[in-house]
Copies of this chain bind each other. A is one copy, B any other.
Amino acid sequence: MTASAPAPAATPPPPYWAVIFTSLRTPGDHGYAQTAAAMVELGARQPGYLGIESARDADGLGITVSYWASLDAIAAGKAVGDHLAAQRAGRARWYRAYTTRIARVERAYGFSADDAAR
Q: Which residues of A pack against B, CB within 8 Å?
A: 4, 6-9, 11, 14, 18, 20, 22-24, 26, 53-63, 65, 91-92, 95-114
Contacts and interface: CB of A to CB of B under 8 A. Distances in A.
Number of copies of this kind of chain in the complex = 2
A18 B92 CA distance: 26
Contact of A65 (B22, B59, B98, B106): B22
Contacts of A107: 101-102
Contacts of A100: 108-110
Given A91-B111, A96-B113, A97-B111, A61 B6 contact: yes
A58 to B, nearest CB: 8
A114 B97 contact: yes
